[in-house]
Amino acid sequence: MTRPVPEPLPADFFPADCPVPTVPVLGSRKWAWKIIRCLEGGPRRFSELRVPLVGITAKVLAESLRSMEQDGVVARTAYAENPPRVEYELTPLGRTLLVPMDSLCEWGQEHLGSLLAARLEHERHGG
């Protein structure tokens, strides 16, 4: 192994169209990925989503859905009925997210425990 960091990293190591920022763009919302999972099986109503998303408030769910609608991954359909009915579903673009999400979930199943354990370890030691 005579390959101990051959060359330094250049300032343009990340090109302008680099997809790495994808992760923080997508991952910043706490509930977004759970919502995507809930919509995987078909359209769901607002109050129907609140059942599996234990602990979410109406406000946060509405905010998350609006932002996902804005991103084009979720479609909102309001029916002029009474009582009101609103359905949310994944767009084709939203469905494409299932692939990387599965990959992340697979990682989580194998390694998330180690990571959280290490995090708790340091919390105990460092205070």
Partner DNA sequence: GGTGCCGGTTACTTCAACGGTACCGACCGC
Partner DNA sequence: GCGGTCGGTACCGTTGAAGTAACCGGCACC
Assigned token pair, 15: 């090109």
The region of 56-64, 77-85, 100-108 touching a copy of itself under the rule CB under 8 A is 100-108
Q: Quick count: other Cβ atoms within 10 Å of Cβ 78? A: 10
Phi, psi of 82 (to 5 degrees): -145, 130
The yes or no reply on residue 124 touching a copy of itself (CB under 8 A) is: no
Q: Which residue of 26, 37, 40, 46 would you call a contact of DNA, by CB under 7 A?
A: 46
- Whether 41 and 88 have beta carbons less than 8 Å apart is answered as no
Rounded-to-10 torsion of CA 52, 58, 63, 65: 40
Site of tokens 């302008």: 16
The yes or no reply on residue 120 touching DNA (CB under 7 A) is: no
* Residue ranges binding DNA (CB under 7 A): 28-32, 45-48, 55-60, 62-67, 76, 78, 82-86
* Residue ranges binding a copy of itself (CB under 8 A): 3-5, 8-14, 17, 19-30, 32-34, 37-38, 41-44, 48-49, 51-52, 54, 70-73, 93, 96-97, 99-101, 103-112, 114-116, 118-119, 122, 126
